[in-house]
Structure 1
Amino acid sequence: MSVLADLLAEVFREPTLAGVARELATLAAPLWLAAIVGLLIGWAWRPRWAAAVVDVAATAQHQPVPVAAPQAPAQATTAAAESAVVVVDPRATTVSEPAEDDELAVNTPDLMHLRRVVEEKDGGPAWTHMMDRTLPTFRYQAWKREPENGPPQYRSSTIFEDASPDVVRDFFWDDDFRIKNTWDDMLLKHETLEECTETGTMVVRWVRKFPFFCSDREYVIGRRIWASGKTYYCVTKSVPRPSVPRCSKPRRVDLYYSSWCIRPVESRNGDGAMTACEVLLFHHEDMGIPWSIAKLGVQQGMWGCVKRIEPGLRAYQTARAAGEPISKFAAMAHANTKFVAGELTASENNDEAGSTSNNAQAEKPKHWTGNLPKVFVIGSVVALACTFDKGLLTKALVFGTARRFAGPGRR
């Protein structure tokens, strides 16, 4: 304030009114210019929620008035009711009867994409080795890669000794046990939104706990399991569901892909028995924080999370051996879709690789306008610094304020 007062006092010392007006115009010009540029940039770079509000208002304004349908014969009405999807509430479970594969939240192209990733034939960048840890009852290896237009991707191989693929499949699918056993201590709550008992396809909502400097995250996930013999392909990915309203907290994660290939492998005992189980995991998501920070968090916390899985699996094996009833989620894991690997491979050769994969659809290049707010703030502060004073102390203070407001805050 003292700097501004001194500057104004110096302006009003001008001997003529024209001189005062000229100095005031010189002082105010950068501020007006910054304000006009800010308005133009703000309109061009509207946040998603503002565009969504405009779209909803326009849709509501042009929404046609529903017209009562003609009365159908009683037999036709009964037949339609038997094959319809039962909807009780937008947030309640929707149970769907047999449906076409392409109408499901997770379908055959997702299986094809996962198989290509497992076989390293998806055309993505090469994997870089990150970690290799071995304990008496399991071994863990991890790799990562960084696509040009998406978040970092992670691949891991975990081999559990004395574990069957069936139990491991149920273990990872069982949301109730995740919370009960707390082996996945990030999962705060879950609910089932849709399920198809014929194919085992589900849509679930998760709320996951994030560190104190981030708000919790919400996931709307579609998932399904395919089986080829004793090998299971488990796909989980984010799916759009407008019926689930967005909230400021927890924040919705729109890009999420976490899928497994679970298969029997030879034990390390050297007896040739296929009594071990390998879990190949492929994971990436856009959590809404800078990818560089997310990478650092994954590298620091990966092994700590992995070590919690093995005791959870052993507790799950003990519960199953004791005859405890399986949960609804484990029962849905049993309703997997059977397929013959050779037939699917022949079908894949006739399709374009990766044309409908969740990974290719969701990952979009970041536009250069994503940095416009910081450019605007820093540019405005530069103009202020050069206008107010020529001293280094004032400029250091103003530039420090710019870094504070333009730097990463709570996401």
Structure 2
Amino acid sequence: MAALVDLLTGIFRQQTLGGAALELAVLAAPLWVAALVGLLIGWAWRPRWAGAVVGDLAQQQEAAGPPAPQPTLANAMAPADVSCRNTLPRAEVVASPEEQQLAVNTGDLMHLWRLVEEKDGGPSWIHMMDRTLPTFRYQAWRRDPPNGPPQYRSSTIFEDASPEVVRDFFWDDEFRIKNTWDDMLLQHETLEEDTETGTMVVRWVRKFPFFCSDREYIIGRRIWASGKTFYCVTKGVPRPSVPRHSKPRRVDVYYSSWCIRPVESIKGDGSMTACEVLLFHHEDMGIPWEIAKLGVRQGMWGCVKRIEPGLRAYQIARTAGEPLSKYAAMAHVTTKFNSDELNTEDNVEASPSNNTEVEKPKHWTGSIPKVLMIGGAVALACTFDHGLLTKAVIFGTARRFAGPGRR
């Protein structure tokens, strides 16, 4: 800075106006050269998106050819499947705006699918229980995430049961209260329903032990179908329009979803007459998690034992021709997708090769920015001849910027 002040003072001490102008031009020339060098370097190191402004992106698209047509919902529907109102052309994580506005959307399907396939990246499951009766088998696991309530995973295999009937059974809130197999459910009502996708928002009030107040749940739910496998998502959804009360207490963190699929009978005869229900459940009930874990462990088997008689009663009612409730009818409105495509796309996303950028061979033009930067530094250093410190700073700055190369 002192060198620049000395130069300016010397200029204005010139006797003639022409001499002063000449000295100013000599001083300003390196600055203009430095500005021009900066523009050249900025253009040489421009980000990729800047190429689209001048047509680089258009040239790349022309070289790559026309884009492949995207599958649409209309040409992907299965005309023979009347129960499936709509179909996912490919099980994509990026959903349409209409899909994202639903209480339960494709992202929830992906999450449940990864839980079923054990690809969600969560902690390992700890085995809790294994019970077998002549008509069904039950296994349960638990894990404790770093943040959040304990999570539970269970597998229940029912003999002589179809996935369609089991799906309707778990969706039928009216039968839950009528048969009392779920004796904790006190009230239920439908708040919203979408007859195109089968998405529902329901309100539940569940009974808790005498030392706790009852709990209120606002639940969004929806079913996807891949062949005879059903992915049934139910989770807590925010609805500010539903007023809160001190009793029953609202439970905001709630997740309880099933994968219902046919499996081989435990009889070992090779027949696919059994049905497995994989349940993933967690909720924050507003009590200490360690106490909640103890209560779940003590009451788990008692609750599970009531499910199987309720299912058999439901099968008898269906065989007798009793009409479906509106909840069971909504269970028939499913979104169809191909789980094999979901598995393929998930593996492609997880492949490390997709995240590796192929290094391109370096061209001789790649060194032009370095040459310009160093040349500009030399010109500035030669102009400011008032000490070695100024030259050292200029050369050091040029080397720092020219060293990394193009980014």
| Bin for the TM-score computed over the shorter chain | 0.5 to 0.7
SS of residue matched to 2:146: coil
Q: Which residue of 1 aligns with 2:129?
A: 131
Match of residue 321 from structure 2: 323
Q: Distance in 1 between matches of 2:198 and 2:335?
A: 8
- Report the Cα offset of residue 170 of structure 1: 0.2
Within the alignment, does 1:300 sit opposite 2:298 as a pair? yes
Partner residue in 2 for 1:182: 180
Task: Tell me what 1:71 maps to.
Answer: none
Map Cα deviations across residues 86-113 of structure 1 (whole Å, 9 max, x no partner): xxxxxxxxxxxx9821110000010000
Indicate the residue corresponding to 1:270 in structure 2.
268
Q: How does 1:22-33 map to 2 (within 5 A)?
A: none
* Superposition map of 1:158-173 within 5 A: 158-173=156-171
Instruction: Check conservation: 1:254, 1:286, Cα contact below 8 A.
Output: yes
**CA–CA separation in structure 2 for the residues paired with 1:126 and 1:347:** 24
Partner-residue secondary structure (3-state), 1:215: coil
How far residue 271 of structure 1 moved from its aligned partner, in angstroms, is 1.6
Query: How far off its partner does 1:269 sit?
Result: 1.8
- Counterpart amino acid of 1:108? T
Q: Which runs of 5 or more structure 1 residues have no equivalent in the other structure? A: 1-97, 354-411
Which of 225, 228, 233 is the matching residue for 1:227?
225
Q: C-alpha deviations, 1:262-301, integer Å up to 9, x for none?
A: 0000012222110000000000000000001100100000
What amino acid is aligned across from residue 305 of structure 1 in structure 2? Answer: C
State yes or no: 1:141 paired with 2:110: no
- SS, match of residue 157 in structure 1: strand
1:121 Cα offset (Å): 0.8
Q: TM-score, normalised by structure 1?
A: 0.61
| Counterpart Cα distance in 2 of 1:344 and 1:117 | 13
Indicate how the Cα distance of structure 1 residues 263 and 183 shifts in structure 2: closer, same or farther if over 3 A, else same: same
Shift of 1:341: 1.1
Q: Distance in 2 between matches of 1:346 and 1:142?
A: 29
1:343 offset after TM fit, Å? 2.4
The residue that corresponds to 1:194 in the other structure is 192
> 1:41 — aligned with what?
none
Look up the match of 1:365: none
- In 1, distance between residues paired with 2:242 and 2:101? 19
Residue 286 of structure 1 corresponds to 284
Counterparts of 1:175 and 1:276, CA distance in 2: 23
1:155 aligns with 2:148: no
**Aligned with 2:100 (options 79, 89, 102):** 102
Q: Distance in 2 between matches of 1:127 and 1:322?
A: 41
SS at match of 2:161: coil
**Can you list the C-alpha shifts for 1:317-368, whole angstroms capped at 9, x where unaligned?**
0000000001000100000100011222344457699xxxxxxxxxxxxxxx
Where does residue 114 of structure 2 map in the other structure?
116
**3-state SS of the aligned residue for 1:301?**
helix
Q: Find the aligned partners of 2:106 and 2:122 in 1 and give their Cα distance.
A: 20
Deviates more, 1:335-344 or 1:300-309: 335-344
Q: C-alpha distance in 1, partners of 2:217/2:167?
A: 21
Q: Write the letter of the residue equivalent to 2:246.
A: S
What is the distance in 2 between the residues matched to 1:235 and 1:347? Answer: 21
Distance in 1, matches of 2:179 and 2:229, equals 26
1:250 maps to which residue?
248
For residues 346-397 of structure 1, what are the alpha-carbon distances to aligned partners after superposition, in whole Å with 9 as ceiling and x for unaligned?
Answer: 44457699xxxxxxxxxxxxxxxxxxxxxxxxxxxxxxxxxxxxxxxxxxxx
Q: How far, CA to CA, are the matches of 2:316 and 2:208 in structure 1?
A: 30
Structure 2: distance between partners of 1:252 and 1:352: 38
Look up the SS of the partner of 1:150 in the other structure. Answer: coil
Q: What letter matches 1:185 in structure 2?
A: D
The residue number in structure 2 matching 1:12 is none
Counterpart AA for 2:120: D
CA contact (8 A) 1:197 1:335 kept: yes
Partner of 1:100: helix, strand, or coil?
helix
Aligned to 2:57: none
- Distance in structure 2 (CA, Å) of the matches to 1:351 and 1:150: 27
The verdict on how the C-alpha distance between 1:350 and 1:199 changes in structure 2, with shifts beyond 3 A counting, is: farther
Distance 1:306 1:142, change over 3 A: same
Aligned partner of 2:91 in structure 1 is none
The 8 Å contact of residues 253 and 287 in structure 1, kept in 2 or not, is answered as yes
Identity %: 83
Instruction: Give the counterpart letter for 2:311 in structure 1.
Output: L
Structure 1 SS opposite 2:313: helix
The CA distance in 2 between the partners of 1:323 and 1:314, in whole Å, is 14
Q: Could you say which residue in structure 2 is the equivalent of 1:310?
A: 308
1:23-62 superposed matches below 5 A: none
Distance 1:221 1:265, change over 3 A: same
Residue matched to 2:51 = none
Secondary structure of the 2:234 match is: strand
Equivalent position amino acid for 2:232 in 1: C
Query: Aligned AA for 1:184?
Result: D
- 2:214 aligned residue (213, 216, 219): 216
Q: Partners of 1:123 and 1:143 in 2: how far apart?
A: 16
One-letter code aligned to 2:134: P
Query: Contact (CA 8 Å) 1:112, 1:348: kept in 2 or not?
Result: no
SS at match of 2:145: coil
